[in-house]
Amino acid sequence: MSNTFQVDLRGIVDLLSHHLYASPRVYIRELLQNAVDAITAVGPDHVGRVAITTTDGVIRVVDNGIGLTEAQVHELLATIGRSSKRDELGFARHEFLGQFGIGLLSCFLVADEIRVHTRQAGQPAVRWIGFSDGRYEVRAGEDGDDREPGTEVTLLPRRGSEEFRTHETVVRLARLYGSLLPVDVTVDDVLTTTGTLPWAGSRADMLRYGAETLGFAPFDVIPLSVPEAGLTGAAFVLPTAASPATRGGHRVYLKRMLLAESVSELLPEWAFFVRCVVDSTELRPTASREALYDDSLLAAARDAIADQLRGWLVRLAAADPVRLGEFLRVHHLGVKALALHDDEMLRLVEQWLPMETNTGLATLADLRERHGVVRYVDDVDQFRQLAAVAAAQDVVLVNAGYAYDRDILARLPDVERMDPSDLTTRFESVDRGTELALRPFLAAAQRRLDRLGCEVLLRSYEPGRLPALYLTSRSAAFGKELAATRDKVDDLWADVLGAVAAAVPVDRPQLVLNHSNPLVRRICGLGDPELAGLAVDALYGQALLLGYHPIRPADADLLNSSFLGLLGHAVGGEV
């Protein structure tokens, strides 16, 4: 047994006119769309015009398009979802803007009653009146049979929508949605269309248009063309940095009618340094006509635009390196994001993008040419700790602690990550006699720091002003984090983590005392074991702080006790 759906017309009208569209202002777009499609249906040589008037809040839109017959009025205006822009198989016809047959309902956002007076050549005039509660009336042949073919739509005011029906608002909306339309559109005799595409002019014209339309003076403009999608337009390069986490909105027109001002699906995520204005004859809108339908054609257009942006960067690198440097200073994040998966952009980053090193800014290509192997650390705090020490050992170190840097370096040959503990192999060992003489001191210092899981070494290295250095390898950092976690969890998980620690051998962090430092040599010669121990504790705490290492509760206790102990020795008595 089959049944048909029961449709509540009042509910359908409310659903489509109040929930499909994001704002009441789209009613102007839908009226312009219908008018332009009616003009297009007459033929390519027809000179179309659309006249909008605003009188006492009543909106009238008159076009000299093809008009409708009585049968079409019943079929199209009274059937939700039916559109004259479809062929007999139901496919959207290419030359028309509208496809869904629901645009007129958007007028109920600002009107309680819609009146349509229309006539097709050789046919009697027809009047259709629709009400917001779902009722409609059709009257044929009453008057207007001698009028010019075309359609007049009248919107009677809806309370609360006054701001959307003023002359100023209608002019602004007509310009917003229809400024590029190839027909004259007037609002109370004010022309709102230009009829030309702004990117069809000179580069200066495009830059001026970008500044006026997008609200910023573009760094540069990149012409765009994707014939497969019938797409033309321009990408305007932002003059200031943009957040990679925010996908920029792009201004998209379909057959010269504005679809939306903030379409994010047009470009890949890495291209956040441009804002585009494009027109397409082939891309498909969603039913609300406020976004693009995400299909294979949109994906192909997105890839093609990405290739054109990439090509602009490559050409800029070859033709104007100074200009490229200015761009990279502003938009290095976008270029680095692209270099993660694009070999051509990776070469551009390698050749042109300066990176922070312990000897100043330098490109990766220069570093490889001068030093063969590029060494880096992937933590900013670690770089700060090691920069001066590595430079003193003639080791050039790249700071790869910023966004994308580590992943970019991983894609390049002759690049290696430096483990901080590797530096100890470059430090000088103290002579044999000195080492033997200081063995009791080092043993006492080691017993002092065993409870903190730290190994004590004595070396000579530059800069001599640095008394001690706290170094952690990857294995040591893992072990320290594992121990800190064990201290925080319950007994069951502590046992589990203990088993992991036993199964995975880890190195211990190292406190490398600098025998080239006069203060360290004096501490090594102290005859008071307690004072020497406090001094070692203080050197440990200072090395933690200078290296921006996390401070555990045990470390904080040691810092406090060593400070108070040394202060007590300085002033005499107990603290």
Tokens of 141: 């042949």
Lowest mean pLDDT of 52-61, 138-147, 404-413, 554-563, name the range.
Answer: 138-147
Tokens of 103: 């645009």
- What 72-77 contacts at long range (C-beta under 8 Å, 24+ apart), as own/partner pairs, is 72/120, 73/116, 73/118, 73/126, 73/128, 73/138, 74/138, 76/101, 77/104, 77/116, 77/128, 77/130, 77/136
Q: Report the sign of the C-alpha dihedral through residues 477, 481, 487, 490, in that order.
A: negative
The CA–CA distances, whole Å, from 185 to 36, 169, 188, 350, 500 equal 10, 15, 10, 52, 75
Same domain for 148 and 44 = yes
- Asked if residue 337 belongs to a domain, the reply is no
Cα–Cα distance, 182 to 48 (Å, whole number): 9
- Asked if residue 325 belongs to a domain, the reply is no
- Asked if residue 564 belongs to a domain, the reply is yes
Please choose, from the candidates 46, 24, 25, the residue with its C-alpha nearest in 3D space to the C-alpha of residue 35: 46
Q: What is the mean pLDDT of the chain?
A: 84
Lowest mean pLDDT of 47-51, 242-246, 426-430, name the range.
Answer: 242-246
Which CATH number fits the domain that encloses residue 137?
Answer: 3.30.565.10
At position 418, the amino acid (one-letter code) is M
Q: Over 90: is that where the pLDDT of 193 sits?
A: yes
Are the C-beta atoms of residues 351 and 343 closer than 8 Å to each other? no
**How far from the centroid of its chain's Cα atoms is residue 209's Cα?**
24
- What 472-476 contacts at long range (C-beta under 8 Å, 24+ apart), as own/partner pairs, is 472/420, 472/421, 472/509, 472/510, 472/549, 473/419, 473/420, 473/421, 473/507, 474/419, 475/505, 475/506, 475/507, 476/421, 476/506, 476/507, 476/508, 476/509, 476/510
- Asked if residue 318 belongs to a domain, the reply is no
Cα–Cα distance, 520 to 294 (Å, whole number): 67
Same domain for 205 and 182 = no
Same domain for 143 and 78 = yes
Coil/strand/helix, residue 50: strand
Which residues touch 214 (CB under 8 Å, ≥6 apart)? Answer: 236, 251, 275, 277
Are the C-beta atoms of residues 390 and 423 closer than 8 Å to each other? yes
- Report the pLDDT averaged over residues 38-48: 90
Are the C-beta atoms of residues 57 and 157 closer than 8 Å to each other? yes
Cα–Cα distance, 316 to 323 (Å, whole number): 7
Same domain for 173 and 206 = no
- Asked if residue 146 belongs to a domain, the reply is yes
Cα–Cα distance, 357 to 350 (Å, whole number): 14
Confidence category of residue 99, pLDDT binned at 50, 70, 90: very low
Tokens of 147: 């009028």
Tell me which of 305, 338, 365 is where a domain ends.
305
Confidence category of residue 421, pLDDT binned at 50, 70, 90: confident
Tell me which of 172, 191, 210 is where a domain ends.
191
Confidence category of residue 386, pLDDT binned at 50, 70, 90: confident
Residue 482 is predicted with a pLDDT of 57
Residue 569 is predicted with a pLDDT of 87
Same domain for 176 and 31 = yes
Same domain for 168 and 53 = yes
Residue 143 is predicted with a pLDDT of 66
Q: Over 90: is that where the pLDDT of 357 sits?
A: yes
Tell me which of 152, 167, 191 is where a domain ends.
191
- Asked if residue 521 belongs to a domain, the reply is yes
Cα–Cα distance, 476 to 508 (Å, whole number): 5
Which CATH number fits the domain that encloses residue 530?
Answer: 1.20.120.790
Same domain for 461 and 513 = yes
pLDDT tens column, 150-171: 999 999 988 888 888 899 999 9
Q: Which domain holds residue 168?
A: 9-191
Interstrand relation of 468-471 and 510-514 (parallel, antiparallel or unpaired):
antiparallel
pLDDT tens column, 58-88: 999 999 999 988 888 887 776 655 444 444 3
**What pTM was computed for the model?**
0.70
- Asked if residue 332 belongs to a domain, the reply is no
Q: How many domains does the chain have?
A: 4
Are the C-beta atoms of residues 459 and 392 closer than 8 Å to each other? no
Burial (0-12, 13-18, 19+ Cβ within 10 Å), 362: middle
Same domain for 364 and 287 = no
510-514 sheet: strands from edge to edge: 428-429, 455-460, 510-514, 468-471
Same domain for 280 and 145 = no
Same domain for 146 and 234 = no
CB atoms within 10 A of CB 438: 18
Are the C-beta atoms of residues 353 and 332 closer than 8 Å to each other? yes
- Report the pLDDT averaged over residues 211-234: 94
Strand partners, 86: 92
Q: Over 60: is that where the pLDDT of 241 sits?
A: yes
Same domain for 187 and 214 = no
Alpha helices in 393-438 (DSSP H): 405-410, 432-437
Q: For residue 435, report the phi and psi dihedrals to the nearest 5 degrees.
A: -65, -40
- Asked if residue 561 belongs to a domain, the reply is yes
- Rg of the chain (C-alpha set): 37
Same domain for 566 and 466 = yes
Q: For residue 332, report the phi and psi dihedrals to the nearest 5 degrees.
A: -60, -30
Q: Over 70: is that where the pLDDT of 196 sits?
A: yes
Count of residues making up the chain: 575
Q: For residue 132, report the phi and psi dihedrals to the nearest 5 degrees.
A: -70, -15
Strand partners, 137: 129
